Amino acid sequence: MNDETPSPGSRLLTGRTVLVTGASRGIGRATALAAHREGAHVVAHWANDEQAALDLQHLLADRGCLVRADLRDTDQAETLWREALAWRGHVDVLVNNAGVWLGSPLDDPAQWRRGWAGNLALNLLGPADLSRNAVLHFRERGGGIVVSVSSRSAHRGDDAEHLAYGAAKAGLLALTKGIARGFAADGVLAYSVAPGWVATDLADAGEADGASVPLGEITPPQDVAEMIVFLASGRSRHTTGATVDITGADYVR
């Protein structure tokens, strides 16, 4: 990574390759577009919504590359990383955004087990596999950046029906902090963002109410994307290891 401060008029990510997971919708889509605006080449991972992925590819044009993968499958996560790396020969930034909000109710043993397995697989183990590959690659290149999308639930816990989600997102925070502490000497920077309710499909599923937020609205995904892109720029290197809460003051630590 180049540690020199870019000139004031330059774009934040010019010349960098950024892998964004869960890029077809919500925070991931907003992040892919914001990174592209700032000059990045974007590897846009998607899993289910092909039309949304194709629409994104049209906007990214020749600075975009779509890769489909189910991150619950270790082999597919490895394939995603290999394809991302092969596109331009290097990856400079990994954005762990893909996630799922699955219930894990105590009174249903089968759903409890499915909820834990699903939340851990996609919200923690998938990002862990990609982060491992990223850190190994970054060490060879003299540095790189990991930005992971966690949740306010990682701090306060989630509701009674979603204990596994909060636990998995807390694990993602711990992973990010460990990467920051363990590999700073290799030039690897790691950050987390912890949104509250964001105006995405997940918020619709949870029947989020913007009236309870001090700002009076649910957080737009673009607000989260702008912070991710800034952290991905490396302009605040000594913020490594930190978590930035993005909740509209709904949850303040």
The structure tokens listed for 213 are 């937020």
Task: Specify the range with the lowest mean pLDDT, choosing from 5-9, 93-97, 202-206.
Answer: 5-9
Does the CA dihedral 60-62-65-66 come out positive or negative? positive
The structure tokens listed for 250 are 């709904």
pLDDT, tens only, 137-191: 999 999 999 999 999 999 999 999 999 999 999 999 999 999 999 999 999 999 9
Q: Which residues pair with 186 in a beta bridge?
A: none
Q: What pTM was computed for the model?
A: 0.93
Question: Regarding beta strands 188-195 and 41-46, do their DSSP bridges make them parallel or antiparallel, or are they unpaired?
Answer: unpaired
Q: Does domain 17-246 have CATH number 3.40.50.720?
A: yes
Distances (CA, A) of 6 to 39, 43, 177, 234, 235: 13, 23, 26, 10, 9
Q: What average pLDDT does the structure give for the chain?
A: 93
Q: Are 122 and 69 in contact (CB under 8 A)?
A: no
- Give the whole-angstrom CA distance, residue 67 versus residue 85: 11
- Give me the active site residues, please: 151, 165, 169
- Alpha carbon of residue 122 to chain centroid: 12
- Give the whole-angstrom CA distance, residue 216 versus residue 248: 8
Distances (CA, A) of 36 to 9, 71, 170, 193: 16, 23, 29, 20
Cα atoms in the 13 Å half-sphere on the side-chain side of 63 = 19
pLDDT, tens only, 98-116: 999 999 999 999 999 999 9
Q: Where along the chain do its domains lie? A: 17-246
pLDDT at 206: 53
- Report which residue type is found at 138: F
pLDDT, tens only, 2-52: 444 444 457 999 999 999 999 999 999 999 999 999 999 999 999 999 999
